[in-house]
Amino acid sequence: MKRLNIAIAGCGVAGLACATLLRRQGANVVLFDKLETPQPLGSGIILQPVGLRVLDEIGAGDAICALGAPIKRLFGKAEPRGNVVLDVRYAARGKNAPCGLGVHRGALFQVLYDAALGAGAEIESGRDVVAVRDGRLVFADGVSASFDLVIDALGMRSPLSGGAPKPLPFGALWASLDWAGGFDETALEQRYRQARKMVGVLPIGRLKGATQRQAAFFWSLKHTDRAAWLATPIEVWKDEVRALWPETEPLLAQLGEHDDLVFATYAHRTIGDPVSRECMHVGDGWHCASPQLGQGANMALLDALALARALDTQSNLDTALGEYARMRALHIKLYQLASWMFTPAYQSDSDTFAFVRDWIMSPLSRAPPAPAVLAALVAGEIGAPLKTIDARPRRRSA
Ligand SMILES: Cc1cc2nc3c(=O)[nH]c(=O)nc-3n(C[C@H](O)[C@H](O)[C@H](O)COP(=O)(O)OP(=O)(O)OC[C@H]3O[C@@H](n4cnc5c(N)ncnc54)[C@H](O)[C@@H]3O)c2cc1C
């Protein structure tokens, strides 16, 4: 294939990963982001083994592992009885099976940004993308530019994939706080009251250049309740959190006002075909889901790897894009379905979902082979996405 001139709209996980891989394969790559200084929003995430494998491929695996916190277990208790209703251990897939990595979004952004710049990608900030028309990328100031290929990596609210989807009823308040004792340093821990209330703590390691370890702290909140939350003194809300999980006190002490927390909305959408005449989609611009299964960034990284492989191995652009869509289709369908099924068990007003979670799903999840299957689901391995993309997993011990 001739040397392609590629525009990547969006400097997030998917965009930066695509830029690095495609630039290394010889394409001319320009990344556009609306932010004046591209930066991640929000707190921390879990990178799953499949996503870490892609970061290895990008050459950023060791850098992110040096910053993040290994996560061996996802653990949750339903209050007030204190019964364990979530206990997924990565090692259930085998003694040496790779585990997850809790990371600060800023740390992930930095290693991906460094990799993209290091590969020679051009980055243009302050460029608000509004459309693609007749093969031209159109910006808010009316300027447009022509490329051989436009990649939509604009995330969940991408104007190139139909704009913001309808939010799910529940989102969450998030904050990155200094790590405090009293929590498992190798686990995502959560406490629930039915599915209406949820508080969680995730170790996320540190930012590049910092020594302070951090935790991502989150509290489930309906977007329709956000205005009332903002209008209530923060101490009233802290009492509610303390009542559910008293050990969060040292984290709550770091929160002085409402603005110390960022509200994130979630949505669930997959656009039918990631490839159109005008552009092709990667990451949340193609498929977004609530983060209950912690897969979004991993899916974005897998999309980037699949696209790079397809462009590298096919001699015709249309065939390559078709191959990209084919490689990712099954894995995306499976995980969109799983996210859609699991989300109400952790975030909904329904007592039925909480009952099913506590008294049916939880006991069943302890009976073999469920622990290994659930661990593989969380690790992002169901549907064998890496095998489909033809990348051999590198081992990182749990
Ligand atoms: C609260 C929360 C917790 C999560 N937890 C996890 C987790 O534990 N594990 C996991 O794998 N995933 C998690 N996710 C999902 C994950 O963050 C996303 O799936 C992932 O960031 C998607 O990457 P992306 O590159 O597609 O989009 P984004 O990371 O959203 O990047 C989009 C980029 O496009 C830019 N942009 C947007 N609009 C425009 C425009 N019009 N013009 C120019 N630039 C624009 C933005 O500035 C941004 O840089 C979580 C998500 C949320 C909200």
Q: How far is the CA of 296 from the centre of ligand 1 (A)?
A: 8
Say if ligand 1 is within 6 A of residue 113 CB: no
The confidence band for 134, taking pLDDT boundaries of 50, 70 and 90, is: confident
Q: Which CATH class is domain 5-166+267-389?
A: alpha beta
On the question of a cis peptide bond just before residue 233, with omega within 30 degrees of 0, the verdict is: no
Say if ligand 1 is within 6 A of residue 102 CB: no
Q: Is it the case that residue 392 has pLDDT exceeding 90?
A: no
> What is the residue with the minimal CA distance to atom 38 of ligand 1?
154
What does the alpha-carbon distance between residue 311 and residue 17 come to, in Å, rounded to a whole number? 14
Say if ligand 1 is within 6 A of residue 295 CB: yes
Q: For a pLDDT cut of 90, what percent of the chain falls above it?
A: 90
User: In this predicted structure, what is the pLDDT of residue 391?
Assistant: 57
Strands, DSSP E only, in 237-276? 262-264, 269-270
Assigned token pair, 134? 């007749």
Assigned token pair, 137? 């990328």
Assigned token pair, 322? 């078709």
Min mean pLDDT across 40-54, 209-223, 242-256 is at: 40-54
Say if ligand 1 is within 6 A of residue 285 CB: yes
Out of 109, 280, 284, 342, mutate this one to test ligand 1's pocket (max ligand atoms within 8 Å of CB): namely 284
- Cα 149 to Cα 4, 128, 168, 311, 362, distances in angstroms: 7, 18, 32, 11, 47
**Per-residue pLDDT reduced to its tens digit, 321-367:** 999 999 999 999 999 999 999 999 999 999 999 999 999 999 999 99
Say if ligand 1 is within 6 A of residue 294 CB: yes
Beta bridge partners of 5: 28
Q: How far is the CA of 139 from the centre of ligand 1 (A)?
A: 20
Do 201 and 181 touch, CB atoms closer than 8 A? no
Q: How far is the CA of 346 from the centre of ligand 1 (A)?
A: 21
Quick one: average pLDDT of 294-315? 96
Q: Is it the case that residue 255 has pLDDT exceeding 80?
A: yes
Q: Is it the case that residue 398 has pLDDT exceeding 70?
A: no
Quick one: average pLDDT of 117-133? 97
